[in-house]
Amino acid sequence: MVTIYDIAKLANVSAMTVSRVINNTGRISESTRARVKQVMQELNYVPNSMARSLVKQETKMLSLLITDITNPFYTTLARGAEDTAMRNGYKLLFGNSDEDYAKERDYVDMVLSTRADGVLFAPAGDGSAEHLRMLQRRNVPFVILDREVPGIEADHVLGDSREGARRLVEHLLALGHRRIAMVGGRQDVSTARLRYAGYLEALKLADVPFDSALVHDVGYTAVEGFAFVDALLSAEAPPTAVFAANNFLALAVIRALRERGVRVPEDLSVVCFDDFGESIVLDPFLTVARQPAYEFGSLGMQLLIERIQGAAGAAPRKIVLPSELVVRQSSSALTGV
């Protein structure tokens, strides 16, 4: 391990002088600077960032927690966050909670013990409040992404879940559908609640009666049997369309439907929140409310860095990003009776 002392000795200066050269601080004569740099080169010196962080009480490391690393929404978001972090001289540590509170808790412990300067936090759900409070108690700045957590005041970057959901459902209504099912996320997640609210709102505005038999709560990543699909299909008055609360759910639902011989969109229309990237999907099929995933990450990171670099006491800001209705083949006009 090469230390500044090694450099100091060889360059015939004090450790302090070496430190100053490394950090470009203080006044140093050109000759000593050159000599020191020369030795650093030769020894291939790399500063020990732990030692530095220990004294400076800052790590220049930020942390990003997402709930599903396989979901393109989050990987795109991660890119946005990383790009912005890099540009500002921060490193980014990723974590993946898998929508699991226990994993999230572990992650917070890690963030605390590694002394990250701040956290971009996409909460698993309302139960994350406890974890966020741990960060608050430690004065670790954070920005909440995608989902609000009741009781937590902080900077936010959110989507327009309610609005987006309403528009998706209105799209279905415009196509003539009246029996529209909703496959929601868990109700302890704000986006799931809001998408549900948007769904209800659209129905109400159109004077379409609500039928609780058409609503099913399942987790955003739930691939658990999909028995509810049977329930839907065998209902007294089965749905002609399904609104899925996110992209993965929609895909899983369509698969389940197909297995049961139900065609989309001929027999049943399906729409959902969140798109897949075009580099991944050849023939986009789903009608979706597309969210600007990259901006979730880059704007969130922006807020976080501003918060860290000064605006400690400033009032929390909330950015709400609109989604875009993208109509494709998975939804079609209701035909026959």
Q: Which of 129, 206 has the CB closer to its own copies?
A: 129
Contact status: 51 vs DNA (CB under 7 A) = yes
Interface mask (CB under 8 A) for its own copies, residues 92-111, using x and -?
xxx-x------------xx-
Q: Which of 15, 321 has the CB closer to DNA?
A: 15
Question: Of 30, 207, 236, 283, which one interacts with its own copies (CB under 8 A)?
Answer: 283
Question: Of 9, 10, 32, 200, which one interacts with DNA (CB under 7 A)?
Answer: 32
Question: Of 24, 29, 44, 139, which one interacts with DNA (CB under 7 A)?
Answer: 29
**Which residues are registered as beta bridge partners of 78?**
none
Closest CA to 87 of 295, 298, 308: 298
Asked if residues 299 and 187 have their Cβ atoms less than 8 Å apart, the reply is no
Where do the DSSP E strands lie in 190-286? Answer: 215-217, 241-244, 269-273
Alpha carbon distance 301, 296 (integer Å): 8
Question: Of 38, 42, 43, 48, which one interacts with DNA (CB under 7 A)?
Answer: 48
Question: Of 9, 10, 37, 52, which one interacts with DNA (CB under 7 A)?
Answer: 52
Judged by beta carbon distances under 5 to 8 A according to partner kind, the member of its own copies, DNA, none in contact with residue 169 is none
* Cα radius of gyration (the chain): 26
Q: Which of 87, 318 has the CB closer to its own copies?
A: 87
**Which residues are registered as beta bridge partners of 91?**
61
- 192 Cα distance to chain centroid: 14
Owner of token pair 């020369």 = 38
Judged by beta carbon distances under 5 to 8 A according to partner kind, the member of DNA, its own copies, none in contact with residue 9 is none
Question: Of 4, 40, 183, 250, which one interacts with DNA (CB under 7 A)?
Answer: 4
Cβ 201 to its own copies shortest distance, Å:
29
CA angle, 164 then 190 then 257, to 5°: 65
Greatest pairwise CA separation for the chain in angstroms:
91
Burial class (CB in 10 A: 0-12, 13-18, 19+), 30: exposed
Residues that bind its own copies (CB under 8 A): 1, 44, 46-51, 53-54, 57, 59, 61, 69-70, 72, 75-76, 78-79, 82, 91-94, 96, 109-110, 112-115, 134, 137-138, 223, 248, 251-252, 254-255, 276-277, 279-283, 285-286
